[in-house]
Structure 1
Amino acid sequence: MRLDKFISQQLGVSRAIAGREIRASRVTVDGDVVKNSAFKLAPEHQVEYDGNPLEQHNGSRYFMLNKPQGYVCSTDDPDYPTVIYFLDEPMAHKLHAAGRLDIDTTGLVLMTDDGQWSHRITSPRHHCEKTYLVTLDSPLAEGVGEQFAAGVQLHNEKSLTKPAQLEIITPTQVRLTISEGRYHQVKRMFAAVGNHVVALHRERIGAIVLDPALGEGEYRPLTAGEIASVGMS
């Protein structure tokens, strides 16, 4: 991989900015300053930016995508277009979503070909928090925040939901943070308290927040810090 592309991916900046940082002598390879943006990195090279090591992740790829409505989070689907359509990457079909969204839900989707990494997001054992912006059909009833904090009973479920955090923005728009991933959980939680979700947008997975610079259908590589944050949960 070219050095400027690697720096761009690791820092979450454009190739032009990455090239500028390289020319400014802020990047070293195996301890030596390299000012050539086209320098070819080998897997064994040790790269540092301002003295901070940047890891090459054994060829694994990690992206965030701002998913629009109308797309499913599978690699292939006979009936609906998939999020793979947006990824202008070699062998894009080898990428999968680490935590899917429903076809009508928008927002943050993480795409990777690293199965162990995505398992740390989706496995109930890791309690990876996810935050959603929720638009409701009716004004929120009194006491729902307390109910969600205590856990609610979903239809056809044996156990209560784990404690969830509710932030009220307006009477019909809230921000909900959950730490589990039951089937259609957010919609079912509001149904359990007599309301109906009319729009759902995921803003955060763990420490990874949807980049506000990404329009619908746009994506970017994750930074080294974002990738590493998943292993910290």
Structure 2
Amino acid sequence: MRLDKFLCKSTALCKQEAIQSIHAKDVTVNGVVVTDASTQVHENNTVLLNGERLKARDFRYILMHKPAGTVCSNVDEVYPSLFRYLNVDKVSELHIVGRLDVDTTGLVLVTDDGRWSFDITRPSNGCQKVYRVQLSRPMSSESAQVVADTFLKGVLLQGEAKLTLPATMEQIAPHEVRLTITEGRFHQVKRMFAAVGNRVVSLHREQIGNLRLDVVTEQWRYLTLKEVESFRNHSN
């Protein structure tokens, strides 16, 4: 974690105030004055501010049910921020783990633990994201099998040089499927179905890893310790 961020997480200082304290030589790390705000510090380092040892607040891990018409951002943009529904202190320290489009609904994870979110979003870790997909064109069982086989092999999205990683698709109804992917390219699900001649009408994320969405729209809850640990070095 950057030193200025560590100060913000362990005091009431804002980022600018933290940087000022560092430049003023008020901060030591393991007994050495540090004036570079970007210096990386770890849990086992001894960080003092004006001689007082600092301890970062515990990381937060949150599950939210994103409604349509919101953006996965800390601030309002053209559409309102998802964080409008999150009533917690220091919300600016949080970030969203794997963003969803404005019109996509469902499971979103929120945290201030960068290493944890990296484990979830890194494609090589194979963390599965499960989507329920409504399509504009119905598929017979035969055509659905062809699409499923195509996704399992990987498809070439428009404008990209590499195939998508293997994905699994289960047909629920002629217009509805469940798709499981392990990466998060830009508009990936929509582009995958466009590549096979169909169009996504609505998209809902219902699961990440072993964690299923269990709160109603606009609601949120903290994850349990067991749920948090299930994503450490995820390799499913």
TM, length-normalised to structure 1:
0.72
Aligned to 1:198: 201
The alpha-carbon deviation at position 92 of structure 1 amounts to 1.6
Q: Distance in 1 between matches of 2:178 and 2:232?
A: 25
From 142, 145, 151, the counterpart of 1:148: 151
Report Cα offsets for 1:97-136 as digits up to 9, x if no partner. Answer: 0111000000000011111111111122322210000000
What SS class does the counterpart of residue 203 from structure 2 fall into? strand
Shift of 1:77: 3.4
Q: Is 1:158 paired with 2:157?
A: no
**C-alpha distance in structure 1 between counterparts of 2:113 and 2:182, whole Å:** 22
Which residue of 2 is the match for residue 185 of structure 1?
Answer: 188
**1:215 maps to which residue?**
216
Q: How far apart in 1 are the matches of 2:102 and 2:233? A: 30
After superposition, give the CA deviation of every residue in 1:130-151 in whole Å (9 maximum; x if it has no partner): 0000000011261111111111
Letter in 2 for 1:219: W
RMSD between aligned alpha carbons? 1.4
Question: Which residue of structure 1 lines up, in the alignment, with residue 61 of structure 2?
Answer: 62
Residue 163 of structure 2 aligns to which amino acid in structure 1? L
Determine the structure 1 residue equivalent to 2:79: 80
Query: Secondary structure, in 3 states, of the residue corresponding to 1:163?
Result: coil
Q: Which residue is equivalent to 2:178?
A: 175
Give the 4+ runs in structure 1 shifted more than 6 A: none
Which residue of structure 1 aligns with residue 134 of structure 2?
A: 135
Contact in 2 for aligned 1:84/1:93 (Cα 8 Å): no
Indicate if the aligned counterparts of 2:119 and 2:233 stay in contact, CA closer than 8 A: no
Aligned to 1:115: 114
SS of residue in 2 equivalent to 1:230: coil
Query: TM-score when scaled to structure 2?
Result: 0.72
C-alpha distance in 1 between matches for 2:158 and 2:165: 15
Tell me which amino acid in the other structure corresponds to 2:155.
V
Percent identity (aligned): 50
Q: CA deviation at 1:232?
A: 4.0
User: For residue 99 of structure 2, what is the amino acid of its counterpart?
Assistant: R
Structure 1 position 79, deviation (Å)? 2.0
SS in 2 for 1:146: helix
- The separation in 2 between residues aligned to 1:163 and 1:153, in whole angstroms, is 11
8 Å Cα contact 2:193-2:200 kept in structure 1 = yes
1:167-188 CA distance string (max 9 Å, x none): 0000100000001111100000
